[in-house]
Amino acid sequence: MKTDSIFYQLFQIFPRCFFDLLTVPPDTVNHYQFSSVEVKQLAFRLDGVFLPNNDHQPIYFVEVQFQRDNQLYSRFFSEIFLYLHQSELRNNWQGVIIYPNRQVETVETVETSRYSELLESGRVSRFYLDELSNVNSVGINTLKLIISPSNQAIEQGKGLIQQVKQEFRDARQQQNLLQLIETILVYKLPQVSRKEIEKMFSLSDLRQTKVYQEALEEGRQEGKQEGKQEGRQEAKLESIPRLRALGLSLEQIAEALDLDIQQVTAVVNVNQQES
């Protein structure tokens, strides 16, 4: 699973989950902008930086670490201090390291002891996703989904989808979060068929996902491909029930496949009778 990419998307689309993790007031997110920052000179790249829009809030440096790395702390602090040296910002700072579990954090004792004052100073917070509290927030539950066992991910994903629909009324934000959940599941469960992913979303939700868009495009492409062959019309007609099951209206199907509305209606009626 490409965790760096997932967390980058997560913090960009739904930065509130980061502040849920810190258990600070939810409106804190309104004072920050998330970005990935490359520190010049040594080509260091910080996983993520939450930059405040005022002088009173701290800069948050984020490191997501899902593999053991004996040089993690030396690199992390080097990146931070080089960034502070080059930046004109005068804000205070906090470091945040996110691990899937404590086992991944295991590093050589000498590496830990060299930075023990920083690690124990309150400057740095370390979070282990498998130990997150039972706070029932969309942010925390999204983070938990990333590390959930494969045999539990589908059920957790379904619950998270319902929670998003209940808590977020803004259509655009809801759409972004649903796509993010879909992306996490696709990364986590590459062996799961698209049909299984489709079943997790209601028809209205499904229209907002890449799964839906891919199915629609397939129907169009099948029609174009078969256009060079004798079975062009048949291929288009065979794709109608599938597109209908995904929630397309008769008019949308007719437009997508370049068919008359009467042809689409006839196929749908026959399919309903057979079922």
Contact 58, 84 (CB under 8 A): no
Judge if 103 and 217 occupy the same domain: no
pLDDT of res. 19? 93
What is the total count of domains within the chain? 2
Same domain? For 217 and 143 the reply is no
| Best-predicted range by mean pLDDT (22-31, 174-183, 208-217, 262-271) | 22-31
34-43, 171-180, 182-191: which is most confident:
171-180
Same domain assignment for residues 123 and 20: yes
For the domain that residue 96 is a member of, what is the CATH number? 3.40.1350
Does 204 have pLDDT greater than 50? Answer: no
More confident residue, 4 or 222: 4
> pLDDT tens, 120-136?
999 999 999 999 877 78
Q: Do 7 and 91 lie in a common domain? A: yes
Rounded Cα distance between 261 and 275, Å, is 21
Decide which of 96, 129, 147 is a domain's last residue: 147
Q: What is the mean pLDDT of residues 223-233?
A: 55
**φ, ψ for residue 95, nearest 5 deg:** -105, 140
Residue 230 is part of which domain span?
210-274
Residue 157 lies in a domain: no
pLDDT given at position 105? 84
For residue 19, tell me if it sits in a domain.
yes
Asked whether residue 270 is domain-assigned, the answer is yes
In a shared domain, residues 24 and 142: yes
| The last residue of a domain, from among 104, 129, 147 | 147
What's the pLDDT tens digit per position in 110-123? 677 888 899 999 99
Of the candidates 147, 164, 197, which is a domain's last residue?
Answer: 147
- Note whether residue 264 is domain-resident: yes
Give CA–CA dist 30/53, Å, rounded: 9
